[in-house]
Structure 1
Amino acid sequence: MTSRIIGIYSPAPQSGKTLASNVLTHQGFTRLSFAAPLKRMCIEFLMMLGYSKAAALEYVFTNKEVLIPEINQTPRHLMQTLGTEWGRNLIDNDVWLTIFEQTSKEFDKIVVDDVRFPNEAEKIKQMGGEMWKVVRPSASHNGAHSSEGQLDSWNGFDHIIYNDGTLVEFREKVDAVIKGAKGEE
């Protein structure tokens, strides 16, 4: 049923990929995430530690860098190690892709704004999708986990969108690419 899939990668936080994803959702795209199963698992884990659902959601979606006192780890660390060390390395390198492929069947137009690994980008392309890279020259990338920076030198991007101007200019660039105009390459 899926007619259009757009995967978005950005090498740095605050690059504009969330804004690009928001623009797409306003154009009728459904936002899916490779990390959605991890987030659900972490929320359940935090609730088992005694946190309310609201507090667990706050940790997973807002306070990713705040230490969880009971385990002396951050939610970001939980999600990264659950996704990579457990899911990808111990279970199957494509475990999250299998879940994504099943979930994506329900939707016509999809945007995935958390593409981090080459096999994720390649899966989107195999499904007939496009890969976009959002670059903000002024943003810095300091991630040390193996899930960060995997696509920095990947050469399969269909569009590279530079977020180097105003918010309005960036939205116009995203709109132009959505409408099929040639992206900045």
Structure 2
Amino acid sequence: MLIGLSGKKRVGKDTAGHYLELVHDFSRIAFADDLKKFAKKLGWNNQKDDRGRRFLQDLGMVARQYDSNIWANLAFQRILKIHRQTGQNDFVVTDMRFLNEVNRVKQEGGIVIRITREDEISDDTHASETELDTYTGFDYRVQSVKGDFNALYKQLDDIVRKERVRESSDASARV
């Protein structure tokens, strides 16, 4: 199973990914993993304060101008490598921010989930924070509540359970 998570910063995407990793044995991947490795080589101090976040956004966009799929391609190369080395079939991508990333997850047979939070306020107008605001093709939408992890976890459990049933039905239909 492949799940892609989308949402504004600080709504719980990494929390959701970590939960899927611990409870449902997913491997967690982020499109920005390779971006962060590159940024560290350029002197980034691993801080996601305003300055650090802007550096990552700018660096990511420069690379996307060269190849809009660069981060998705690198992430899926890692997914394929992990699958070949370990046999792992369940992956969660914790940082879908652009339409081409959503399309890639869907193209690879995955589902896409939008996480929102009731008290979500973002004044960040960078494309990486706004491009998917009007996207209507999410397979699921989940609501997180600040401090109430159990509500988020229950929604994720329900989605995984439903998708496992669907996968099982699809496999039976092919036999």
TM-score with structure 1 length normalisation? 0.78
Stretches (4+) displaced over 3 A: none
C-alpha distance in 2 between matches for 1:65 and 1:100: 24
C-alpha distance in 2 between matches for 1:147 and 1:172: 28
C-alpha distance in 1 between matches for 2:145 and 2:73: 35
Residue-by-residue CA offset, 1:133-166 (whole Å, 9 max, x unaligned):
0111112111122221111111111110112483
2:96 corresponds to which residue?
Answer: 115
Residue 167 of structure 1, CA deviation: 2.3
SS of the aligned residue for 1:113 comes to strand
C-alpha distance in 2 between matches for 1:100 and 1:167: 27
Unmatched 5+ stretches in structure 1: 47-55, 67-73
1:162 corresponds to which residue?
Answer: 143
TM-score with structure 2 length normalisation? 0.82
* Aligned mate of 1:65, from 45, 49, 64: 49
C-alpha distance in 2 between matches for 1:35 and 1:23: 19
Q: Partner amino acid for 1:176?
A: D
**Structure with more of its chain in helix, by fraction:** 2
* Aligned mate of 2:156, from 174, 180, 184: 174
Unmatched 5+ stretches in structure 2: 84-88, 164-175
C-alpha distance in 1 between matches for 2:19 and 2:122: 24
C-alpha distance in 2 between matches for 1:144 and 1:16: 19
C-alpha distance in 2 between matches for 1:173 and 1:97: 26
1:152 corresponds to which residue?
Answer: 133
